[in-house]
Structure 1
Amino acid sequence: MKERKVFGISWNVFLLGLVSFLNDMSSEMIAPIVPSYLTDILKIGKLASGSIMGLIESLSSLFKVLFGYISDKFRKRKAFVALGYLISTISKGALAVTHSWWDFLILRILDRIGKGIRTAPRDALIAESSEKGKSGKSFGFHRMMDTLGAVAGPLVAMGLLALLANYPKELAYRYIFLISAVPGVIGVLIVLLLVKDKGSEVKKKIKGISALKSSNLRIFLVIVAIAALGRYSYAFTLWKAEELGYSVFQGLGFYALFNVIYALSAYPIGYYSDKVGKKIIITIGFGIAGLASLIFAYANNLPTLLLAFVLYGLYMAIEDTIPRAYMADLAKEFEKGTVIGAYHTVFGVFVFPASIIVGYLWQTYSLTVGFLYSAVMNVIAMIMMALLIKES
């Protein structure tokens, strides 16, 4: 029986996009207030805050290759996807009762573990649910839905902050943490009740050379590692806004703008990458990342800060979408979870020290120096990617 389609993509991909919308709404309701919560409520210093944010964003990737591999073996992606979303949902709601850096860190680590469990199996399921030659379109749609949730989340948080304006800041933050679990619960129910596994429909090939032995793929993973060393946490962009005198509430607006650009760009970029080649788009993305970091470094007024957030959103739309599709295209059918997980793991290992380095440069010198460091790393990645395309 021919599978139902929505907006030209499979029903499964559509549902997974909807789940990501709900989960990211949940996550992004709290993401913009976390930097302020760390520094103003929990009274954590700059270097420690940067390190915690980097550790949080890195940890999930350490689990991605493991659970990608396991899902390849069992050909059952759905169970891991549901479990991962459930763990993340519970951990976000429980932030409402944190009172120190260590219980905050434990819950954020649990959230990242949940992400690590679900990401590679989910991306493999998206790849298995996509038409041949249209992986960029499917991943682009998924990232678009994910980021629309990231647009809705800060807007909901802004509304809640306005409603809770007469409450103490700490109490308002705790209410938002608690409410953030609601869309996450709905997403888990959608996975359990509506999403279907595709592993049994994919012919398992036990012979053949793994894509991980390809020299081009290994070089690409080296490039990913270099770029990850220059990818600072979103928190630094909000700290930059605060440094220029903008409030946490105004920072939510900047963050929403970034996510609007991300959401509007991800689907057309994914679709276009199927036409012109994913490596070209990835190379351009690194260039945009370098430019965004350079502008963040020297932004001193509203127009330049807005431009930096726009470019940052465009860069994230590319680099959070196209490398996944590129790895899915390279992977054999029997190893999609493992190969996609390897990408996420390499990225995660190297993105952790990035935020520590930028945090150190911020504390020792200035945020400007931290952003300049990031710009240099992304330019190096862009040049190496261009050389990879030339030699291919």
Structure 2
Amino acid sequence: MGQKGKKIFGISWNVFVLGLVSFLNDMSSEMINPVIPKYLTDVLRTGELLGGTLMGAIESLSSLFKVAFGYISDRFRNRKVFIFAGYALSTFAKGALAFTRYWWDFLSLRVLDRVGKGIRTAPRDALIAESSEEGKTGKSFGFHRMMDTLGAVAGPLAGIGLLYLMRGIEIERAYRYLFLATTIPGLLSLFLILFLLKEGGQEVRKKISGVSALKSRNLRLFLLVIAVGALGRYSYAFTLWKAGELGYSLEGEMAFYALFNLMYALSAYPIGVYSDRVGKKRLITVGFLISALASLAFAYARGPGTLVLAFLLYGVSIAIEDTAPRAYMADLAKDFEKGTVIGAYHTVFGIFVFPASVIAGWLWQSYSLTYSFLYAAVMNLLAFVMMFWIRDKN
């Protein structure tokens, strides 16, 4: 059977396997992501501006490589080797965090992890698109994001459990043991890629020819909107710093983070399916509005009720932003350039998401976290308005 023929629960084989891979990898990542903000401020002793800058740099740098490796995977007509190499590099980098002592060696390993993400993301997303039935890319990307985020729910819960088991150990040493534990699900994900993932079918092997979708006015305008929206996409660390500001413990922050990821996971698959029906452009537009509302809720949260609402809205907005645009770009791309076009989206996003966290960190240090979230709300509202400039009906 071809890559689109064999199905598991109505999902193509490759999409199903990549969903499992992302579940394990994100479980690995999210075991430690909720503790990283406190690790930076309490162990490595970074301040607000440096902390925000580091988090922004970490989340941004991976995207700078995505268009390059998407392009290379299109030219080499091979996705699997880049997917494996990217996940392998990230697995090593996360485990090695156990040996960091300064902010600069921490940053170098986190950048290495993000380089791994940059290597794998566009080829992986292209393989998902190539393995999907026509008109069902939203469903495939929704399933993948759901599995990815279920891993992000399992990760913090596993992290909480491990920290509980290590409650008699000095906190800095417990952090380091937690970093080492991430290699277990990471190595399992590499096994799945190596032995179960199939290389792309005929779509990848077609002669490279035709006019690139990147020359389309609407696609370029859409990338401009993505840039504006990315300027309002602060690091998740700011949401945890907000919870800490309201008096919640590390375990409380991790619980809020798990709530966010649970909402993301529950939303991603139906959002993907729904986007195939109502149009991805429409859903992306709504996503920017929800993101603005989430930012306002974080800005004015003073008690648990508003904070819970903020995390729920944040989960839905990120589920939309991480699902619909990828499927939208995949639908617009020609068969010979899916990796390149999807990589262009990730790269534009990555370039502009870095200053977003730097600006948010500066506003936090100079004024308060409230201003960081208000700034994000304004940028998302601007992106929401700009979406109406795009006449594309996709």
Q: TM-score with structure 1 length normalisation?
A: 0.98
Shift of 1:47: 0.3
Q: Provide, for residues 259-299 of structure 1, a one-character-per-residue CA deviation record: whole Å limited to 9, x for no partner.
A: 00000000000000000000000000000000000010000
Q: Specify which of 54, 69, 72 is matched with residue 70 of structure 1.
A: 72
8 Å contact kept, 1:51–1:355? yes
What CA distance in whole angstroms lies between the structure 2 residues aligned with 1:267 and 1:391? 22
What CA distance in whole angstroms lies between the structure 2 residues aligned with 1:27 and 1:73? 30
Counterpart code for 2:182: S
8 Å contact kept, 2:77–2:205? no
Counterpart code for 2:206: K
What CA distance in whole angstroms lies between the structure 2 residues aligned with 1:215 and 1:340? 16
What CA distance in whole angstroms lies between the structure 2 residues aligned with 1:391 and 1:275? 12
Aligned to 2:73, what secondary structure does the other structure show?
Answer: helix
**Structure-to-structure mapping, 1:59-98, within 5 angstroms:** 59-98=61-100
Q: Provide, for residues 102-141 of structure 1, a one-character-per-residue CA deviation record: whole Å limited to 9, x for no partner.
A: 1101100100000000000000000000000000000000
Q: Provide, for residues 302-344 of structure 1, a one-character-per-residue CA deviation record: whole Å limited to 9, x for no partner.
A: 0000000000000000000110000000000000000000000
**Structure-to-structure mapping, 1:308-319, within 5 angstroms:** 308-319=310-321
8 Å contact kept, 1:80–1:121? yes
Residue number in structure 1 paired with 2:36: 34
Residue number in structure 2 paired with 1:330: 332
What CA distance in whole angstroms lies between the structure 2 residues aligned with 1:314 and 1:390? 24
Q: Is 1:384–2:370 an aligned residue pair?
A: no
Residue number in structure 2 paired with 1:52: 54
Q: Specify which of 215, 232, 238 is matched with residue 234 of structure 2.
A: 232
Q: Provide, for residues 133-169 of structure 1, a one-character-per-residue CA deviation record: whole Å limited to 9, x for no partner.
A: 0000000000000000000000000001111111111
Q: In percent, how many aligned pairs have the same letter?
A: 69
Residue number in structure 1 paired with 2:193: 191
What CA distance in whole angstroms lies between the structure 1 residues aligned with 2:264 and 2:382? 23
8 Å contact kept, 1:77–1:199? no
The count of residues paired between Structure 1 and Structure 2 equals: 392
Shift of 1:387: 2.9
Answer with 2-11 or 31-40: which moved more.
2-11
Counterpart code for 2:161: G
Shift of 1:207: 3.1
**Structure-to-structure mapping, 1:194-273, within 5 angstroms:** 194-202=196-204, 204-273=206-275
Aligned to 2:256, what secondary structure does the other structure show?
Answer: helix
8 Å contact kept, 1:205–1:333? no
Residue number in structure 2 paired with 1:162: 164
Counterpart code for 2:173: L
Shift of 1:199: 4.6
What CA distance in whole angstroms lies between the structure 2 residues aligned with 1:232 and 1:283? 18
Cα pair distance change 1:325/1:61, threshold 3 Å = same
8 Å contact kept, 2:156–2:255? yes
Residue number in structure 2 paired with 1:359: 361
What CA distance in whole angstroms lies between the structure 1 residues aligned with 2:142 and 2:64? 24
Q: TM-score with structure 2 length normalisation?
A: 0.98
Q: Is 1:146–2:148 an aligned residue pair?
A: yes
8 Å contact kept, 1:280–1:389? no
What CA distance in whole angstroms lies between the structure 2 residues aligned with 1:277 and 1:145? 22
8 Å contact kept, 1:282–1:319? yes
